[in-house]
A = this chain, B = another copy of it.
Amino acid sequence: MKIAIDGMGGDNAPAAVIEGIIQALEEYKDIEMYITGPEKEINEELSKYNYEKDKINVIDATEVISTNEHPVMAVRKKKDSSLVKAMNLVKDGTCDAVISGGSTGAFLAGCTFIVGRMKGVERPALAPIMPGRNGSFMIVDVGANVDCKPSYLVQFAKMGKVYYEKVFNVKNPTVGLINIGAEEEKGNELTKSTYQLLKEHNELNFIGNVEPRDISTGDTNILVSDGFVGNTALKMYEGTASTLLKVMKDEIMKSSIISKAGVLLLKPVLKKIMKRFDYKEYGGAPFLGVDGICIKAHGSSDARAFKNAIRQTDIFYKNDVLNHMKNEFNN
């Protein structure tokens, strides 16, 4: 498959992007990369590595879209940006997928306006995969749609189902509605109406409301919500984990030499835990409901995160997720 990647997207670009690509090319054999960005800068980075030259193409792009810019305006005006050029490679059929670690807003705008919506989908949704205690879970949507109608959330569930089924090979994955109470009649206007709609969709394995307290167990495969609530859940998850680890460090720094020795003995265990909760292991977040494979990598992605985003793109492609999703919406 041919993957376009925004060479300038992310806090550590282009160095981490390039390093991630090199690592991916060593592991995954059937891919060919198209890197967009200032030719000279990209080639300079590439010159640090040995790789099969015919597997990497550099597409010159003189502009960069920053996270501070108005997303829609930036995508419309900066035709020669690394992001827009990467999107165009999918639109014109040169590439099968696009990855970017840059501005989320600009990425979503680019996917929607350049790659285009999938027929039948009202609103595409950003759907990261997260590590839970008992398994991975997916939240659809985490910020593409801040104000939602109930019908959008039903579509989020349908898209999530196809992705989860095909990528994780789980038949009939469970779908939950993020809500502040377990009972059917709980919640706000949006969740109460959405509950009634989801109940009627027998093709979905809808298990009812899931309270935010239970999300991180990972017992429910797909969680749907409006993008504001989904983003709040996602960021609270990341923020709380980070705060807890910092508090542990604070307390250990203040502690006795005996406790410090305890930490040394525990190191292998702590490392395992860190790995289990590291988003870098999970690649990026697919933007579901657009007419192409579009993966948003985390802004702070390092080489390993980019490598894993490429692996994820490869799985997305090989399992023909896009066509399965199209069939779902053209019934």
Contacts and interface: CB of A to CB of B under 8 A. Distances in A.
A283 B214 CA distance: 23
A244 to B, nearest CB: 6
Interface in A220-242: 226-229, 231-242
Given A243-B217, A251-B273, A276-B247, A147 B188 contact: yes
Q: Which of A231, A255, A261 has the most CB of B within 10 A?
A: A231
Interface stretch (A21-29, A159-167, A264-272): A264-272
Interface in A22-78: 68
A95 interface: no
Given A243-B216, A250-B133, A235 B180 contact: yes
Interface string A75-93: 0000000000000000000
A66 to B, nearest CB: 12
A161 to B, nearest CB: 23
B241 A212 contact: no
A259 B271 CA distance: 12
Interface of A is mostly: helix
A146 B180 contact: yes
A188 B132 CA distance: 28
Interface string A1-34: 0000000000000000000000000000000000
Contacts of A235: 180, 211-213
A269 B187 CA distance: 39
Contacts of A244: 240-241, 244, 273, 277
Nearest to A271: B251
A119 interface: no
Given A213-B238, A213-B239, A269-B252, A232 B231 contact: no
A125 to B, nearest CB: 14
A190 to B, nearest CB: 9
A201 to B, nearest CB: 23
Nearest to A191: B228
Given A191-B228, A240-B241, 18 more contacts: A132-B243, A180-B228, A180-B232, A187-B228, A212-B239, A216-B239, A217-B243, A236-B240, A237-B240, A244-B277, A247-B276, A248-B269, A255-B268, A256-B268, A261-B262, A262-B262, A262-B264, A265-B265
Interface of A: 68, 132-133, 143, 146-147, 178, 180, 183, 187-189, 191, 211-217, 226-229, 231-244, 246-248, 250-252, 255-256, 258-259, 261-266, 268-269, 272-273, 276-277
